Structure 1
Amino acid sequence: MKKRLEMLEQLQEIDYLIDNLKTTQSGLTEEMSGIEQALIDARQELSGLEGRVVLLEQEKEELESSQTVEQENIRRSETNMKEIKTNKEYQAVGREIAAARKQAAEIDEQTLQKVSQIEELNTEIATRKETLAELEQNTSQRRDEKQAEISKIQQDIDADVARREAITKELPPNLVKRYNALRKQRRGQAVAGARDGYCLGCNMNLPPQLYNSLYKGDELISCPHCQRVLILKLQPAAQ
């Protein structure tokens, strides 16, 4: 029975190692996802800027088309003025030409604003493309580094799982089942030390008779409070 208790304790130590390795591996996987997401975000931002340029170019073309129409209207009105005979008609056409020229001037101003915005965005896009190229290179390198770490940890996990299987094969199936159930119920700790009359798993006082039975080591004894399997842990002798 003492050997079984020692094997259960070894099993728990291995499970602790596996749990910690999996936690580390999960953290690395999240880091790698974050690295990938940063690259995706950078590409989307660049695509968004390029989309804005396309939209501005379309708006500029529409303004230029409107400007062409306004200039044609002005020319037509100026031609018509030569044929006007009454002062009233002349003044009316003059007002139309003035309004059209004002509209044309506003269109010119809006067009210049679009051109300026396009130039600014193109400058930013060029910078973003350089940054993205560097990010893609760095991402590839960092991804490879993280993947290498993850693979190394997986090798360690596989080795510990093999050790775990070797131990569980030497233990009775019902004991392994009980151990696994306790681990699940007690946050990964199925085995607890007992010292000075206390369970070190839940820090509760153990009945004296039960605690004394631990010295014999001829049976599996569970804590009556947390149900963990108890292993006697005596204080080291004073030097």
Structure 2
Amino acid sequence: MNKHLNELIELSKIDQAIDSYNPQLEAADKKVAKVQKKIDAAQAELDELTSSISENEEKIKAFEEQLTLLNEQLASNVKKSKEISTEKEMKALSLEEDIAKEKMTFANEEIERLQAINETKKELLAEAESKVNLLRAELSDINDKVSVEKAEIEKSKGELFIKREELSRDIEQKVLSFYEKIRIWAGNTAVVPVKKQACYGCFMKLNDKTYSEVIKGEEIVNCPHCGRILYIERETAEA
């Protein structure tokens, strides 16, 4: 087989091996992203509960301030009642007291209702905080494992890059440039085998002349349909 063709076949296999690690790296990142997504959702729930509890506490505070003012108003009315001299003034004061008492009843009921809601929300908040902490611990554990996994992958890729660099230096520049041009659009299918007289890049059948040239392996042969570099695998050639 042509020396340059042999070199390109080997180079192509190294490139395929290097890129085969990319899905593994992506899968490792997805593990981290999956847990991070859960943390973000749990944190959003926690933040919503915290905000809701805070809003309710502000409302409770406002009702308590209103009760203080209403109590002061009722105390003031007691003093006023001693100075009232007409029935009209008495009725007006009585109506004012009734309204104040209704407001106080409503304020007390709202305070009780909001406090009950907050008690429930605080229980949910404790659960949400626990969930976030557990997920963060899980993320830390996964990050540690993924870091080791990725380091091993990068080490293996590094070794292949060194091997590729050494091989590239031995390949004639013109041949290497030809390969790289095809690789721009064909990716790791720049060099493909021929099986059953078909190019295994575009899967189109080769004519007899091209197929014969590929079998001989004396020159670098391109697929007439897609332009990929073709070769016959040793087992196929022997058969």
Give the TM-score of the pair, scaled to structure 1.
0.89
Give runs of aligned pairs for residues 156-235 of structure 1, distance below 5 A. Answer: 156-233=156-233, 234=236
SS in 1 for 2:148: helix
Aligned pair count reads 237
Aligned to 1:9: 9
Aligned to 1:135: 135
Classify 1:119/1:155 alpha carbon distance in 2 versus 1 (closer, same or farther; 3 Å).
same
Deviations 1:164-209 (A, max 9, x none): 2222121112222221221221242011222443322222232322
* Cα shift at 1:235: 6.4
Aligned to 1:45: 45
* Cα shift at 1:41: 4.2
Query: Which one has the bigger helix percentage?
Result: 2
Aligned to 1:86: 86
Look up the equivalent residue of 1:53 and give its one-letter code: I
Deviations 1:44-71 (A, max 9, x none): 4333322332232222111100111011
* Cα shift at 1:39: 3.1
**Residue 120 of structure 2 corresponds to residue 120 of structure 1:** yes
Equivalent residues of 2:215, 2:237 under 8 A apart:
no
Moved more, 41-50 or 157-166: 41-50
The gaps in structure 1 that reach 5 residues or longer are none
Classify 1:165/1:129 alpha carbon distance in 2 versus 1 (closer, same or farther; 3 Å).
same
Aligned to 2:72: 72
Distance 1:196 1:100 in 2: 97
Aligned to 1:55: 55
Give runs of aligned pairs for residues 143-154 of structure 1, distance below 5 A. Answer: 143-154=143-154
SS in 1 for 2:188: coil
Distance 2:89 2:203 in 1: 105
| Runs of 4+ more than 6 Å apart | none
Aligned to 2:110: 110
SS in 2 for 1:201: coil
SS in 2 for 1:194: strand
Classify 1:126/1:204 alpha carbon distance in 2 versus 1 (closer, same or farther; 3 Å).
closer
Distance 1:114 1:41 in 2: 26
Deviations 1:67-109 (A, max 9, x none): 1101111221233123212212211211111111001111111
Look up the equivalent residue of 2:98 and give its one-letter code: A
Equivalent residues of 2:35, 2:135 under 8 A apart:
no
Task: Report % sequence identity.
Answer: 24
The gaps in structure 2 that reach 5 residues or longer are none
Distance 1:149 1:31 in 2: 12
Moved more, 89-98 or 211-220: 211-220
Distance 2:200 2:230 in 1: 9
Equivalent residues of 2:32, 2:139 under 8 A apart:
no
